[in-house]
């Protein structure tokens, strides 16, 4: 298999987080603090990443600011030649710490947004005072002059706040906003009844984004992740399995995407035992769905197969029960009709209570019946 070098690496430094968002992309089984990679191992992994061609390093979590060695890690990543992007809720960042990150060479900050007011944001994040703190952090980010992307995670509860989210991004001096409709993996799967947007909301969101892109051209770049259960074609997940990026979990497992552990037959290598180069090129999980040989019909004979690579493997696993199946979002999938009905049922559910994610090592809640 001829694979090209990876461009991006997502380093999930920890699963610890002060927030407990009900759509958290972390796995249901969270890594505990005593299993986290230590500072020196992460530094080595950053050097290995740069050696094999990674250009962009996304430092995420959990909340990466929960790592006390964050500044040292960012300095090491810059030293290795990587472009460093901190993906944070802002909680845990003080003004002083932001100045230290500035000195360490941090290139860019991506700040998450759970809602445009404290009532919404603190309810979703499960952390009282979180919104006010975030606004304070956003002010420091602007003062220091870090380039900023606002990452607005949207769902049925807060989609009416999208126009205000876009305004907030402009006020914060962000160059970019990601309008990211919740992707239903991990914890979000437990909350489809409360978070699934309606078809009408999805189409209205398309219109708001189109209008704002035109109006704010040259001022604010808008990246948009539409509600994919309500789409006709699947997303080009990860730009194609094992073509562009890799993900390292807090305990050192290397994944082709953040949800890959939901595919039960895959085996993952660990940075404690292997060089990233060997994992990227020869790891069995990376080669499982690389290219197009693994595809079934209707993907195999489809003229879109190099466009979307059959969509998301984890979604095919979660909904169809076969990770090599066509993503059921696709209109060519025999499961597309059922998915649309299911999406519609979730979107019109009366359920109100959210299942918030827990802390590493704590019991996993189930939605109340």
Partner 1 sequence: MIDREDIPFLPRGVRLHFDKVRDQWVLLAPERAVTLDQVGQAILSELDGIRSFGTITEDLASRYNAPAEEIAKDTGGFLGALLDRRFLELRR
Structural contact between residues 196 and 229, judged by C-beta atoms closer than 8 angstroms: yes
Residue whose CB is less far from partner 1, 164 or 176:
176
Nearest approach in angstroms of CB 147 to partner 1 is 3
Cross-sheet strand order for the sheet of 148-154: 221-225, 176-181, 148-154, 108-113, 83-88, 56-60, 8-12, 245-248, 254-255
User: Site residues for partner 1, window 5-34 (CB under 8 A)?
Assistant: 5, 7-8
Residue whose CB is less far from partner 1, 31 or 222:
222
> For the window 136-165, what string marks contact with partner 1 as x by the rule CB under 8 A?
---------xxx-x----------------
- CA nearest 89: which of 113, 121, 122, 58? 113
334: left (phi over 0), alpha (psi -120 to 50) or beta: alpha
Structural contact between residues 111 and 134, judged by C-beta atoms closer than 8 angstroms: yes
Nearest approach in angstroms of CB 149 to partner 1 is 6
Residues 273, 188: Cα–Cα separation, whole Å: 32
The pairing of strands 254-255 and 245-248 is: antiparallel
- Between the alpha carbon of residue 28 and those of residues 153, 187, 281, 359, the distances in Å are 19, 6, 28, 10
Residue whose CB is less far from partner 1, 56 or 71:
56
Nearest approach in angstroms of CB 322 to partner 1 is 32
Strand, helix or coil for residue 235: coil
Structural contact between residues 189 and 263, judged by C-beta atoms closer than 8 angstroms: no
* Residue of 14, 25, 26, 56 that binds partner 1 (CB under 8 A): 56
* Residue of 32, 97, 108, 332 that binds partner 1 (CB under 8 A): 108
* Residue of 52, 135, 189, 199 that binds partner 1 (CB under 8 A): 52
User: Site residues for partner 1, window 257-296 (CB under 8 A)?
Assistant: none
Structure tokens at 364: 């996993």
Task: Give yes or no for residue 302 binding partner 1 (CB under 8 A).
Answer: no
Structural contact between residues 151 and 114, judged by C-beta atoms closer than 8 angstroms: no
Residue whose CB is less far from partner 1, 120 or 216:
216
| Contacts (Cβ under 8 Å, ≥6 apart) of 130 | 18, 19, 89, 91, 114, 118, 121, 122
Q: Using the rule CB under 8 A, give the single segment among 11-19, 45-53, 302-310, 361-369 that binds partner 1.
A: 45-53
Q: Using the rule CB under 8 A, give the single segment among 16-24, 50-58, 260-268, 280-288 that binds partner 1.
A: 50-58
Q: Using the rule CB under 8 A, give the single segment among 65-73, 104-112, 281-289, 336-344 that binds partner 1.
A: 104-112
Size, binding site for partner 1 by CB under 8 A: 26
* Residue of 69, 100, 107, 204 that binds partner 1 (CB under 8 A): 107
How deeply is 103 buried, as exposed, middle or buried, from its count of CB atoms within 10 A (0-12, 13-18, 19+)?
exposed
User: Site residues for partner 1, window 61-90 (CB under 8 A)?
Assistant: 81, 83, 85
User: Site residues for partner 1, window 168-227 (CB under 8 A)?
Assistant: 175-176, 217-221
Residue whose CB is less far from partner 1, 26 or 151:
151
Q: Largest Cα–Cα distance in the chain?
A: 56
Residue whose CB is less far from partner 1, 8 or 76:
8
Contact positions toward partner 1, by CB under 8 A? 5, 7-8, 51-53, 55-56, 58, 81, 83, 85, 107-108, 110, 145-147, 149, 175-176, 217-221
């Amino acid at each position: 298999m001829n694979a090209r070098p990876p461009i991006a690496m997502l380093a999930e430094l920890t699963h610890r987080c002060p927030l407990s968002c009900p759509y958290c992309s972390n796995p249901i089984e969270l890594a505990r603090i005593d299993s986290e990679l230590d500072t020196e191992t992460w530094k080595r992994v950053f050097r290995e990443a740069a050696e094999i061609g990674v250009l962009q390093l996304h430092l995420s979590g959990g909340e990466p600011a929960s790592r006390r060695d964050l500044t040292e890690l960012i300095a090491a990543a810059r030293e290795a030649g990587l472009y460093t992007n901190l993906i944070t809720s802002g909680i845990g960042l003080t003004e002083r710490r932001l100045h230290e990150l500035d000195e360490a060479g941090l290139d860019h900050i991506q700040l998450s947004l759970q809602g445009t007011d404290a009532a919404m944001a603190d309810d979703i994040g499960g952390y009282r005072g979180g919104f006010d703190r975030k606004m304070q952090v956003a002010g420091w980010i602007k003062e220091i002059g870090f380039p900023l992307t606002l990452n607005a995670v949207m769902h049925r509860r807060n989609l009416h706040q999208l126009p205000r989210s876009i305004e907030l991004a402009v006020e914060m001096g962000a160059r970019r906003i990601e309008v990211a409709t919740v992707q239903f993996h991990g914890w979000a799967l437990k909350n489809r009844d409360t978070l699934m947007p309606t078809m009408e909301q999805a189409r209205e969101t398309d219109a708001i984004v189109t209008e704002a892109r035109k109006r704010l051209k040259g001022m604010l770049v808008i990246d948009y992740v539409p509600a994919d259960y309500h789409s006709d074609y699947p997303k080009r997940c990860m730009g194609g399995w094992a073509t562009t990026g890799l993900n390292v979990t807090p305990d050192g497992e290397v994944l082709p995407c953040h949800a890959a552990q939901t595919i039960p037959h895959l085996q993952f290598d660990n940075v404690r035992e292997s060089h990233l180069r060997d994992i990227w090129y020869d790891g069995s999980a990376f080669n499982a769905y690389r290219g197009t040989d693994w595809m079934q019909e209707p993907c195999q004979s489809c003229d879109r197969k190099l466009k979307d690579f059959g969509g998301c493997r984890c979604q095919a696993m979660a909904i169809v029960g076969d990770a090599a199946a066509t993503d059921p979002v696709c209109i060519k999938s025999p499961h597309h009709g059922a998915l649309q009905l299911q999406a519609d049922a979730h979107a019109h559910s009366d359920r109100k209570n959210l299942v918030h994610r827990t802390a590493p090592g704590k019991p996993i809640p189930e939605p109340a019946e």
